[in-house]
Each structure stands twice: as C-alpha cells, then as structure tokens.
Amino acid sequence: MQVKINIDGGSRGNPGPGASAYVICDLQGKILAQEGHFMPHCTNNQAEYTALKLALIKSKELGATELFIESDSLLLVKQFLGEYKIKSPDLAARMQVIRHLAGQFTIHIKHVLREFNKAPDALANKAMDAKESLGFNPIENLPEDDEILTTPQTDNTVNGVEVKPVVRSAKTTKKPQPKQPDLFGNF
C-alpha cells in the first residue's frame, strides 16, 4: 500500500515543551491516521526526528509498503538522505533508529515549504497547547523507550582506514627556547 505522509515538529523555547506530528493519507487524500505527540522537553530537531519515527511506526501498523514523505525541515531531509552530516550524538542515535525502521519500506522523502505542510504543523501546535498527545487512529503500541532504541554507532574510519586517538607520551626534558633578540637595544 502506498501512503503520503506529512511530518512536522516544534518546540517552544528550543529546548522546551514541544510536539511531533504526522498526517498519513492514502494517495487520494483520505486521512488514515494523524497524531500530535506531546513532548514535555525537547529541541525542534528532536521533535522533527520523532515525527518521522512515529510516522514510520504507524505506517507499519497500517501495512504500508511505499511512503511518500514530506517535511518542512530541510535539515532532517538532508540528514536522512545522507547529504548532511549529523553532528549531534543524540540526533545520530535517533537517526539510527529511524533508518532501522525505514529499512522495511520504499521511501521517497522531500523537503517542502511550510505553506505546504500546514496539517502536521497545526496538529503539533494543538498538542503543545493541550500539553498532551492528540490524534485520530494513533499508534496503538508505542515502544517503551520511545526516543532512542539503540546505541549510536561510532564510525572510526577515514578514507577506508580505521583511525584511533593519538596518545602522546609526556616528555621529561624541555627543549631550551631560543632567546628573543632585543630589537630596541635596551631603550
């Protein structure tokens, strides 16, 4: 089954209270599921990542196989596609979970302007206002650890060769420093 998914996330205060939201429709536009997931404390990026993760969990529940995902977070889209590096260890761990979940689908993901992503934005704001999760056909069984399910992988390879931290031994003797010449002749 093919579905269209719009996702969004936000945080008031960044970090602060926030919410993640997804809207899943069939290709004719009929809403199959939508949920605004309240997060008591998060950053905007954590909320955006969580929206994608929740949409993937719900898509599996619905039996979807091919996902057409739209997000107004260019960072999330580029990081998912591997075009931008993920510097934050927290976001890297979240992306590892997302990629694990995404492995069971054919995924098409693209960035859209906010004006074309109003439905999940409204749902995320409604959840933040209510300070609770809201939805139609929400996720039935959200995993216990609903943020990070695995530990992040550390990639210690550069140009195909494993690299290790350099450990330098402490030197016991100091090299004598050259004396700075007096340019002004002791004025």
pLDDT given at position 140: 83
Burial of 27 (0-12, 13-18, 19+ CB in 10 A): exposed
For the cut 50, the answer to whether the pLDDT of residue 47 exceeds it is: yes
The answer to whether 68 and 24 are in contact (CB under 8 A) is: no
The answer to whether 25 and 137 are in contact (CB under 8 A) is: no
Which CATH fold would you assign to the domain 2-136? Nucleotidyltransferase; domain 5 (3.30.420)
Cα 88 → chain centroid: 10
pLDDT digits (tens, 9 = 90+) for 23-43: 999 999 999 999 999 999 999
pTM, two decimal places: 0.77
Residue 176 tokens, joined: 């004598």
pLDDT digits (tens, 9 = 90+) for 114-140: 999 999 999 999 999 999 999 999 888
pLDDT digits (tens, 9 = 90+) for 152-162: 445 555 555 66
For residue 107, CA distances in Å to 130, 154, 175 come to: 32, 25, 60
- What is the DSSP code (8-state) at residue 158? E
Residue 66 tokens, joined: 């091919």
pLDDT given at position 141: 81
Annotated domain spans of the chain: 2-136
Specify the amino acid at residue 40.
Answer: P
Print burial letters for 150-159: b (CB count within 10 Å at least 16), e (below 16).
eebeeeeeee
